[in-house]
Chains A and B, each alone.
Chain A
Amino acid sequence: MKAVFLAAAATIALGVASGAAQAGPTLDAIKQRGFVQCGVNTGLAGFGNPDSAGNWTGLDVDYCRAVAVALFNDPNKVKFTPLSAQQRFPAIQSGEVDLLSRNTTVTLTRDTSVGLNFAPVTYYDGQGFMVPKKLGVKSAKELSGATVCVQSGTTTELNLADYFRTNNLQYNPVVIESVDEVNAAYFAGRCDVLTTDASGLAGTRAAVAPNPDDHIILPEIISKEPLAPAVRHGDDQWFDIVKWTVYGAIAAEEKGITSKNLDEFLTSKDPEIQRMLGVAPGMGGALGLDDKWLYNVIKKMGNYGEIFERNVGVKTPLKLERGLNALWTKGGMQYAMPFR
């Protein structure tokens, strides 16, 4: 009943929003205000979560900070607005936030009728399955008759139903609202299979499982979940800034530029590096920013690889591999457009 109401309310909300007038140039408003308003998750480990002292950390959070650095050369000139899944789109539509960096999957309807413009993908994810090793299951195709723990109200639940129907498999869903309780149900043996985004499975196995080696993640990835920051329709300049901040971090990794060795590249002969770091002017000006914008971003936040490893990488409790998020030169899909 609640879900029906929320869905109805969201539909009305979207209808209202698509008719709403667009704000003036976002960049001017932000500069005048002195900080970027960024919508983040109310708590998703490694992507957007407050630490013990209440400071925001995570991959999505670092992109908010990166945009703030591009504008103000200060990663703290951000006001984080934690948003629930239902709130996130109205918040960006109504102008409550300038930037939505909240593990949001890019889809056609969100790009169109919801009124969002998606920056490049910062994390390629997809839904997978985890099972206890002792079941001896090697493929999701062998899961017929299984009891599956799944979080309610997510696309995960729908993908699960689709996948089992498509493959003519029977299953019993155990649907639970909170992600922690879903995990607990799985580890308590209430179900045979745990399903959520692969990143979540890996993190759960590494950080929550009593013994990580007792569980395996099956090879099937049953959905595409490209997660990207988004801005609202109607301000192309602001969209460009967010977009190229994401590209900039990837491009820096492609060129081997890190926050540590950044200054050595200031004397680089590579014309693209010169343009990126503002040694050769023009790029920043085209975006309406200082020519040093990307230099500052890399100095303060690091390149894509550094952001990834710091928040979710193998040295963190989440222990995520780069996988699809490796550079295109290393078998992944992260690819920056040319800085020219």
Chain B
Amino acid sequence: MTGTVENTAPPAMAEERPPVATVGPLAWVRNNLFNTWYNALLTVLIVWAVLRVVPPLVDWLVIKAHGFGAPPQECRADLGGACWAFVAEKLRFIMFGMFPYDEQWRPLLVIVIFIALLGASCDRRFWHAWFGLVWLAGLAVVGVLMWGGVLGLTPVENTYWGGLPLTLILSVIGLAVAFPFSILLALGRRSTMPAVKAICVTYIELIRGVPLISLLFMASVMFPLFLPTGVTVDKLLRAQVAFILFAAAYMAEAIRGGLQAIPKGQYEAADGLGLSYWQKMGKVILPQALAISIPPLVNTFISFFKDTSLVIIIGLYDLLGSAKAALTDPSWRGFYREAYLFIGLIYWAFCFFMSKYSQRLERDLNRSRRH
């Protein structure tokens, strides 16, 4: 050893933390919530509002809530807590409406089928022509389950349908039938053929110019009076047709927006390749236009899903209607908060799912457009 080997490494520095004022939760709070006087004020106000609202809400929803088996008298004695017993007692009625009690496994199965079909449709691996057949088969099974009369199932007239299956039937079938119809209307409106264009414009403007409720009212109240006495067209069918007419007009406008957003070069390029009109539209324009139209289309879907609740004015018991009817049981009157919260949650779940899925779809389909 001729000398000490110098340790060339610098002496280990004591790890010094940055000042508390710039990192850590406290700093985050200061920089984000209290960085200016008005932000500080807003923060204080919001915290105050949350403290005012949340504890009583939790109190009502959970802590003071009555058990699922509580009789109505017990709920009524203390209105400070939610009466979930109402939802428990009326669950089957709210979900299935007037459908014969012993046969309610059938609408339950219908809900499952609809959710499975909708869920599977979200997966792009299923986006093939054969999946259309799966849908048709699924709808056929839905029809058999709801109507019955075959395979030993008791026939059930559609006047007894209700609850969530009715909401799903009206909205899913309504939108599914209206969709191709709306594409044709959108194309027709952009057509250079004057007659086609005039018909499409008139139709769209006429339907969009009246409220849905008036169409339903026409379909359910006026229409039967124009028929000879004794001839009746099914009430549900009338409402369904009104929905389809209405949805088609709105979706057509959403799609037209997409069509107009496609650069002219795409049309010209397709023409230049010598494609026919339908080839051009089907293979070049529509795939792009529909991808662009997703946000307005989903907007229409969501609003239509909720608009089905308007059938209450024509005496059909959709989800909202059956909840309202459940509230008229003399023993269980007055628990409308619980009823509306419950069905609100169901509507929300469906709409939230649609919205989330559309965001993903938009991201996937418009990848080429992102810069």
Contacts and interface: CB of A to CB of B under 8 A. Distances in A.
A49 B159 contact: no
A87 B315 contact: yes
Interface string B305-347: 0000000111101000100111111110110100000000000
Interface in A7-47: 9-10, 12-13, 16-17, 20-23, 29, 42-46
Interface residues of A, number: 53
A90 B328 contact: no
Contacts of A6: 217
Nearest to A48: B328
Interface string B149-189: 00000000101100000000000000000000000000000
A51 B235 CA distance: 23
Contacts of A20: 225, 229
Given A45-B333, A87-B220, A54 B232 contact: no
B99 interface: yes
Interface in A47-97: 49-55, 79, 81-84, 86-87, 90-91, 93-96
Contact of B226 (A16, A82, A317): A16
Nearest to A49: B328
B224 A96 contact: yes
A42 B315 contact: yes
A44 B93 contact: no
A263 interface: no
B224 A54 contact: no
Interface in A195-209: 203-204, 207-208
Contact of A81 (B89, B92, B97, B159): B159
Given A54-B99, A90-B221, A45 B314 contact: no
The winner among B157, B221, B329 for most chain A CB atoms within 10 A is: B221
A76 to B, nearest CB: 12
A9 B222 contact: yes
Nearest to A17: B225
The winner among A23, A45, A54, A91 for most chain B CB atoms within 10 A is: A54
B325 A49 contact: yes
A23 to B, nearest CB: 5
A87 B221 contact: yes
Given A81-B315, A84-B315, A86-B313, A51 B329 contact: yes
Contact of B214 (A5, A42, A79, A203): A5
A29 B232 CA distance: 14
A42 B225 contact: no
Nearest to A318: B330
B75 to A, nearest CB: 11
Nearest to B160: A54
A208 B315 contact: no
Given A81-B159, A86-B221, A208 B328 contact: no
Given A2-B213, A94-B232, A46 B99 contact: no
Interface stretch (A180-188, A217-225, A330-338): A180-188
B97 A42 contact: no
A121 to B, nearest CB: 21
A316 interface: yes
The winner among B89, B92, B326, B330 for most chain A CB atoms within 10 A is: B330
Given A54-B93, A208-B334, A22 B229 contact: yes
B211 interface: yes
Interface string B206-245: 0000010110011011101111011010010000000000
A2 B211 contact: yes
Interface residues of B, number: 49
Contact of A21 (B72, B229, B324, B325): B229
A96 B159 CA distance: 12
A5 to B, nearest CB: 6
Nearest to A16: B225
Contacts of A16: 222, 225-226
The winner among B99, B312, B327 for most chain A CB atoms within 10 A is: B327
Contact of A43 (B101, B160, B217, B328): B328
B45 interface: no
A89 B1 CA distance: 116
B217 A210 contact: no
B79 interface: yes
Nearest to B317: A82
B229 A317 contact: no
Contacts of B217: 5-6, 9, 86
A255 B224 CA distance: 44
B98 A54 contact: yes
A5 B218 CA distance: 11
B93 A13 contact: no
A73 to B, nearest CB: 22
Contacts of B225: 13, 16-17, 20, 90, 93-94
A81 B160 CA distance: 9
B315 A54 contact: no
A196 to B, nearest CB: 13
B86 to A, nearest CB: 10
Contacts of A87: 220-221, 313-315
Contacts of B220: 87
A183 B230 contact: no
A42 B325 contact: yes
A183 B98 contact: no
Contact of B93 (A10, A12, A53, A316): A53
Given A42-B321, A87-B221, A90-B221, 10 more contacts: A9-B221, A42-B312, A43-B325, A43-B328, A45-B328, A52-B92, A87-B314, A87-B315, A91-B224, A183-B334
For the complex of A and B, 9 pairs with smallest distance between CB atoms: A43-B328, A49-B328, A94-B224, A208-B334, A43-B325, A317-B330, A53-B101, A45-B330, A82-B315
22 contacts: A5-B214, A9-B222, A17-B225, A23-B229, A43-B325, A50-B98, A54-B93, A54-B100, A54-B101, A83-B315, A86-B217, A87-B314, A87-B315, A90-B221, A90-B222, A94-B227, A95-B230, A180-B336, A203-B330, A204-B333, A208-B76, A317-B72
